[in-house]
Amino acid sequence: MDKDEAKFLLGSFRPDGADAGDEDFAAALQLAAEDRELGEWLAGERSMDAAFAAALGSVAPPASLRDDILGLETTGFGGIPQAETGLDAWMIGSLASMAAPEGLRGRVLASMATTAQPRQPGAGWWRKAAWPVAAAAGVALAFLFTIDRSVDPLPTAAIIPASTTVPVDVVQASFIRTFESPLFGFDEHRQPHGELVEILEKKKLPCARRLPPGLVGVQCEGCREMVIDGKRGSLVCFDDPVNGRVHLVIFKRSDVCGELPTRDNPALSQNGPWAVARWIDGDQVYVLLGSRPLEKLATLF
């Protein structure tokens, strides 16, 4: 073993001496004991590692940190900055439209609790060496989400083969994830509903010709295309100065599966902070969402 190989191994030697009896370090430690220059280098490395470990140990994480991390799935990721490039934006937008399998969080946590193994002899050096790799991965993820609002994202069309139909629950969940994405925005802004209808028609997108009574005459904040599993739909946002902002998602009935009532008797539900109304009108499916109590959304019908 030469000094470069020894430095590579000893660079992951823990400052508290926990690896002193590890056979993976035996030859490198012996060389450090015999070579003064290498020994001095190791002493300096352990001193810096110890200082760094002490600095980390002095930081007390917030008591709510674990719950805050686990709660991200319900509170959204509004604090994540936007992507640096159009390709990053396209990737993030595509991921935002995916629906995780039901119960995934519970299975992952259960797996973490049952698969932990005791440390095996000889496993220490590579485990510590893996810390910089994990840190580099974190830097790479942070770089992926860096902001540049001047870059237009690429189209967020699905990159998987389209299925026959999309469940209406997926339509609802996809809107919430898309809206809570840092990349959310409108294709058209602040135009009368009639003009937005014309714009959507030119793009061959479904549009609402009959609105709930409470939305007739309400100012439109904007509209955009929504693509879920290859199915093209529309999103129109209404900004009522009295009742607040609501979002109307529209898809063709032939693209969406699920039993739904008519517009005169919509299915109402509360999904966390989101009040939701779903119905069928002609050959189109509508999902109306607002961050408000369900009773307030019901007054629009």
How do residues 21-38 score in pLDDT, each as one tens digit? 788 788 888 888 888 888
Average pLDDT over residues 204-233: 88
157 vs 269 pLDDT, higher one: 269
Q: Return the pLDDT at 162.
A: 43
17 vs 143 pLDDT, higher one: 17
Average pLDDT over residues 240-268: 89
Distance CA 231, CA 254 (A): 10
Mean pLDDT, the chain, rounded, equals: 75
How do residues 105-131 score in pLDDT, each as one tens digit? 667 766 655 544 444 444 444 444 444
Query: Given pLDDT bands bounded at 50, 70 and 90, which one contains residue 149?
Result: very low
Distance CA 293, CA 269 (A): 10
Average pLDDT over residues 55-84: 68
How do residues 239-249 score in pLDDT, each as one tens digit? 877 778 899 99
Q: For the whole model, what pTM was predicted? A: 0.48
State the amino acid at position 116 in one-letter form.
A
Q: Return the pLDDT at 228.
A: 87
Beta strands 220-228 and 256-257 are: unpaired
- For the ranges 19-23, 41-45, 72-76, 130-134, the maximum mean pLDDT occurs at 41-45
Q: Return the pLDDT at 205.
A: 92
Answer yes or no: are the C-beta atoms of 251 and 231 closer than 8 Å: yes
Q: Return the pLDDT at 143.
A: 39
Give percent above pLDDT 70 in the chain: 69
Count of Cβ atoms closer than 10 Å to residue 8 Cβ: 13
Q: Return the pLDDT at 166.
A: 87
The two three-digit tokens of residue 34, written as one number:
């015999």
103 vs 64 pLDDT, higher one: 64
- Residues 157, 236, 284, CA angle at the centre, nearest 5°? 75
For residue 161, pLDDT over 60 is answered with: no
Average pLDDT over residues 200-225: 88
Domains of the chain plus CATH, in order, are 3-57 (no CATH), 79-99+121-156 (no CATH), 166-298 (3.40.1000)
Query: Given pLDDT bands bounded at 50, 70 and 90, which one contains residue 185?
Result: confident
